[in-house]
Each structure stands twice: as C-alpha cells, then as structure tokens.
Chain A
Amino acid sequence: MNRSDLRPILREKFPPERTYLLPALHYLQEEFGHLPDWALQTVAWHLRVPASEVYGAATSYSELRIDAPGRHVVRVCNGLSCWHNGGRSILERLSDEFGVQPGETDPDSRVTLEETPCGFLCPMAPVVEVDGRWRGRVAAADIPSLVKELT
C-alpha cells in the first residue's frame, strides 16, 4: 500500500476532522502493525492536521508503535502482582531464550520482547501476552513450549 492507496480508504472511513485522529491511528496500527512515517503523513493530509502534531500525538500513546516490531510480540507484565509472583523470573528466562533485552527485537526480527506496566488481569498473575493474547498463571515450565511456538 502507498499514499495513493491509503487516501481513498481514509476518506471513506473518517470524516476530515481532527477528532478522528486516534481512530485513524488505530486503523494504521491494525493494518500495518505499526505506524509507518508515510502513513502518518497521509493521515495528516487527510485530517488537515500538521504532520508534526500527528507525530506528536502518535508518539505520546504507549499502545501505538512507531517502529515495526518483530514477527511476534511478547509482553511480560511488570505490575506489582505479576512481578512479585514470578513475572520477574519469567522475563529473565524469556530474555535469555530469545537473546534480547526487554524492549529489543532480535536480529532476525523473529520476536520483540517487552515489559508492560499492567495487563489488567492481576488475579491471573503472572501474565504474559503473546501476539495480542494474554496467558495467565504462567509457570516456568510453560516457557519452553511458548518459545517453540514462535517461529
């Protein structure tokens, strides 16, 4: 997809008003998995909002991604209930298994490993999110199969 493909889609989906900025950014992330520069610029044109302000808004939200993640995204919750219930060692194990530090993507772009502040399912601690799906009551014994799943 390029700018000229995206413009008619935006025209159809969102009236050209600033209030549709966040819905448009959500659409980009769903479509591309992140927010490519050229697409942000196209949204700016369509909504008639300065590109710098679109970029400013986009980078201020923690769930929006500016950089393309790996093929898989693994997020480990570091909220208090998870962290002190095994979350910390799960993150360390995954970091070893994938050979990346939290916040990094491995050189083959296989996986991006991240910490996330709260998954809002604290009673299921510790929780890990794999490609958008949360897994609760994760034990150290679950890690080998989790790692094997991600190719």
Chain B
Amino acid sequence: MTSYDQLHEAAQASLAASTRVIVQVGHCSQAVGATQVAEALQAELSGHSSVDLVIAGCDGACFAAPQVIVTTSPNNIQRYSQVSLDDVPTLVATLTSGDTTGLPLFVKGGRGDLDSFFAAQTRVLLTRCGYIDPTSINEYIALGGYRGLNGALSQSPEEVIQTVLDAGLLGRGGAYFPAARKWQAARAANGSPRYLVVNAEEGEPGLFKDRHIMEGDPHLLLEGMLIAAYATGASETYIYINAEANLSAQRIETAIEQAQDAGLIGEDILGSGFDCQVTVRRGAGGYVCGEETTLLDTIQGNRREPRLRPPFPAESGLFQRPTVINNVETLSNVPMILSEPVPPELVEGHAEGDFPVLPPFVKGGQGGFSSLGLDSAKGTKLICLSGLVQRPGLAEVPMGSTLRHVIYDIGGGPPPGTDLGVVAIGGPSSGVLPPTELDTELRPGMLHPSGVVMGGGGIMVMAEGVPVIDVVRQLAAYNAAESCGKCTPCREGTPRMVQVLDRLASGHGSTTDLEELRYLAEIVGAASLCGLGQMSGGPINSALHFFGDELAGLIN
C-alpha cells in the first residue's frame, strides 16, 4: 500500500527535464495523418536523448491538426499546425542541432487563429488535454492528479455527496440531472453489489468531446469515476465505450492498468479500505445505446431497447442492482470539485526546467468549478463545434455562453465569402435555429420553447442557402433509422415524418402537410418511452417555428 504523497513524490521525480516535443494524436487528427507524423518523428528522434517525444491526445484545435508543440523552456513554446510528413525533416534538423532558439515556424493555419481560438475559452476541464502523455500516470499525478480522490477518501461518502451537490454539478449527457443526486439514491437503495456505469457511448451525431477526454486525459475520467463509486458505495464499475472509439478504449485500458499498479484501482485503494474493480465494455453502434437503461440492457446481453421506468436504475439497474450511470464529461468534472483542477503553482510561476509545462494560455486553478457558469448551472461545458466555421473543434466555455460567442469568437464565424445559415444544435433530438438567434445562451433546459435543447453540446453550422428542409429531413431520417422499434409511435411515426418531409422537398407537398408534421411530432413525443422518440419532433417543431415561411413556400 502506497500513500498519495509517496505517489506524488515518485511521479515528480520521474519527469526528466528536456526538450519536449508533443505530437497530438487523437481520433480526429488520426484522420489527417497525425499517426504518420508521430511515427516519423519517433524514428528520427529515437537516438536523441535530449528530446522527449510525447504522443498526446488533442487539445481541441481540430482545424490546426495535426499539431506538434515544441517546448524548450517554459517560456519558449512553439506550436506547429497542420504538420505534414514533408515538414518533419526541417523540424528534426532544428531540434537535433542543439540550437532551438530560432525554431522554424510553419504555422499554416495562422498563429492568430490559434490564439483567438483559445483566448475566447475558459479551459478548466481540458487543462491537461493535449499536453500531457495520456499513457503516463506519472504526468497526471505530478500535475496534481488523484488529489481529488485522495481528499474524497479521507471524507465519508455522505460528505463527498454533499460537496458535489453543493457545487451544483449537473449531468453533461444531455439531461442535466444533478449528478450526486443519483449517487445518493443508489446509496440509499437496498441491494448488493452496487454498480457505477460510465456512459462513454457518445453516439449523438456531432459530438466528440468524451473521446477527447478519454484520449487526452484518461486518468481524469478514472479519478472522477472512482470518487463517484466511493460516494455511491459501488464496488464494481463498467466503462461503456462507443464501438468506434478504438483509441479512447486503448488509452483508457492503459490508464486502468497503470492505476491498478499504483494501487488506485482494486482493493484497499490508498489504504482507505475502499475496493473498486473496473471493466471496459464496448458498444456496437446505435444512438439509443446511449440511453441509460438501454445501455444497461446491452451490457446484460439483450437487444438495444430502453426499459420502462420506474424502477429507476438507482433502485434496479444493472443486473437489477442499484446502479448509477454518469456521462464521461460529468465524471471528469468531479475531481476539480474535490480539489483545484491543476495546482496553480505548477502552471503560473513554474521554475525554469520544471516539466511538464503547460502552454501559457492554459490557465489552471482559476477558482475551480463553482465560480464558473450560471447560478442554475455551474461550471463549464464542452462544445463540439463543426460545419461552416473557420475554426471547428472542441471548445470549453462557461455555462451560459452565447451561441454567438462560440460560433464567432471561438470558431471565427463562416469563412470569408460565405454567410451563416441554419444552426443545428444538440443533435437529432434538438432543433434548428436561424442566424437571428445567436444570442441564445447555452445552458440546460429549453433554449427555445419549440424544443431546442443543448443536448450533449454539439453545434453544427450550415451555410446560408442550405435549405432547412434538407437539414430537418436528415435529422428525421436519422431518428427513423435509429428507432429501436419498441414503441409503436416512434417506430411508425418517425418514418412518417421522413415521408412527409420528402413529399415537401420534392414539391409535391399539400397544405395539410405542415399540420401533419406538427401532429406527428406531438404524438411521437408524447407516447414514446425514451428520449429518442420523445425528442424526435425537436427539429420539426423548431423548423416550423423559425422557418415556417420557407417550409410553406415549398407547397405549391
């Protein structure tokens, strides 16, 4: 048994001071050659002990990927964006010449772009993501990792629950239910063992935030998960990872092994008497798998169909035992509630030669979770921004930030020569907004009474001229394809929505079609068991509200 202080000391001692070259390899950047760049640098630099090559996750600046970040001292950090294999020889020549003062700067995306992308964000959750080695538990611990768990284990589970309730942590999967309320309910329920299930299915189109955390800072999730398990009294945890998120699964599995070796997973964790085992399970595709009761049934080996509630999972969940299901982003917020995100002294006044250093635009320890966001919804939210913006990527903003802030200040707005059109928000369960609604605040609950919600935090921006019927039809077709078929209204109603939309799009619509769409949206919404059906009318209702004239214009 090792104490936390011993772990921390060993972790700091293990970090060598040297020139650090970070290649950001994530699910997204792999698709544009990051792996090849990393392999080439690895081969070229393997003989140079003065250069420490780190394969990190991504920091969210997807527009700049693949990124290479070179740190020769805390004050000399160079970022290279959209690096290709052709750039590798130049980079290697400079790094190995010993004189790294005048590193070449081949920022193709434009340095200003990166600065504005980060400056408009509040990075708390993503502090480490993209800058530390996700396969090294030492780097996580050296930067204050597992301090939250250590602190939690010295309190009673009830105290931990109270702290997280007081902090106001709401679930980030889309429903925004108080996370610790679930822990409390499962703790109070009879039944043993209790389970904690991490919902890492992330199957909502437009989302890639949980993958970024698992790939870039996997121990953050594990720490949050262990704290939640301790508070719940869960001795077994499952991490249910999306079928396609192979890199996430790999890095999480490595992190689990390291945490086991360090005595942070398993029996008598940090000498507290708390035992916890972790199993990784993979999904097999399907939006509905992210619905919490469906997820439980797929672990049990059943079809992917939601359960009737009550009983709620807190009373009768996995294998009919008390179960808590939390999203990756939710759990990743937990450690900073129990301790500050990154000890400020490691970020601000770090001494020359201290490694790993975080780039200067990353601010740690700025007041933690509760000082950010809204009174009704504390903390930050990860936003997945894509579509027609100059800087698509993963951003972190305080709850309550506006759509305009995200699309323009962070995303840079549409490229020159194009204009903003339909904005789809929250995936297929939410809605569409026109450019006149950019002052909408991103927060839990209805963003607009027609059914627009933030969901998991996906924002997809379309160009002006993309017909709203195309956007809505695509979302409706997705819902129809993903309907599991358990509830008749959803199974029959969602394809009917697509039929009517097709009829409108082809110019054969009749005057009753808009009314029929409204009617279908209402029935399917009212009579379906799970969120997929209940929310499937969102795109239609919001389109009817905001784009009613455009839709009516399709009828001859």
Contacts and interface: CB of A to CB of B under 8 A. Distances in A.
Interface string A14-26: 0001111111011
B386 A122 contact: yes
A137 B286 contact: no
Contacts of B289: 61
Contacts of A40: none
B93 interface: no
A127 interface: yes
B397 interface: no
Given A22-B284, A123-B392, A135-B31, A80 B301 contact: no
Given A81-B460, A123-B392, A123-B393, A22 B387 contact: no
Contacts of A33: none
Contacts of B475: 80
A62 interface: yes
Nearest to B319: A19
Contacts of B211: 120
Nearest to B243: A63
A127 B31 contact: yes
A124 B298 CA distance: 30
Contacts of B529: none
A57 B305 CA distance: 10
A117 B65 CA distance: 23
B11 interface: no
Given A117-B481, A122-B384, A124-B62, A22 B301 contact: yes
Contacts of B62: 121, 123-124
Interface string B276-311: 000001111111010000000011111111000000
Interface string A112-148: 0000011111111101000001111100000000000
Contacts of B385: 123
A98 interface: no
B319 to A, nearest CB: 8
B478 interface: yes
Given A79-B205, A136-B28, A47 B301 contact: yes
Contacts of B206: 79-81, 118, 122
B424 interface: yes
B243 to A, nearest CB: 4
A73 interface: no
Contact of B31 (A23, A61, A84, A136): A136
B244 A119 contact: yes
A64 interface: yes
A49 interface: yes
A78 interface: yes
Nearest to A118: B205
Interface string B46-66: 000000000000000011010
A123 B384 CA distance: 8
| Interface size class of chain B, counting residues whose CB lies under 8 Å from the partner chain | 35 or more
B517 interface: no
A81 B207 CA distance: 11
| Residue of B243, B388, B394, B466 with highest tally of chain A CB at under 10 A | B243
Given A60-B304, A121-B208, A85 B388 contact: yes
A64 B284 contact: yes
Contact of A61 (B28, B284, B384): B284
B386 A49 contact: no
Contact of B387 (A23, A60, A78, A84): A84
A84 B303 contact: no
Contacts of A47: 301
B463 interface: yes
Given A25-B284, A124-B62, A134-B30, A19 B387 contact: no
Contacts of A124: 28, 31-32, 62, 65
A63 B244 contact: yes
Given A18-B301, A120-B202, A136-B32, A80 B471 contact: yes
Nearest to A57: B303
Contacts of B244: 63, 119-120
A79 B206 CA distance: 7
B300 A122 contact: no
Interface in A7-60: 17-23, 25-26, 47, 49, 53, 56-57, 60
B281 A22 contact: yes
Interface string B385-413: 11110001110000000000000000000
Contacts of B462: 80, 84
B387 A137 contact: no
A38 to B, nearest CB: 20
A19 B297 CA distance: 9
Interface of A: 17-23, 25-26, 47, 49, 53, 56-57, 60-64, 78-81, 83-85, 117-125, 127, 133-137
> What 5 pairs across the A-B complex have the smallest Cβ distances?
A63-B285, A122-B386, A21-B301, A123-B62, A136-B31
Given A21-B302, A63-B283, 12 more contacts: A21-B301, A61-B304, A63-B244, A64-B284, A84-B463, A117-B287, A118-B204, A121-B27, A123-B63, A124-B31, A127-B31, A133-B30
11 contacts: A18-B300, A20-B301, A26-B282, A62-B285, A84-B387, A84-B388, A84-B471, A117-B481, A120-B242, A120-B245, A133-B30
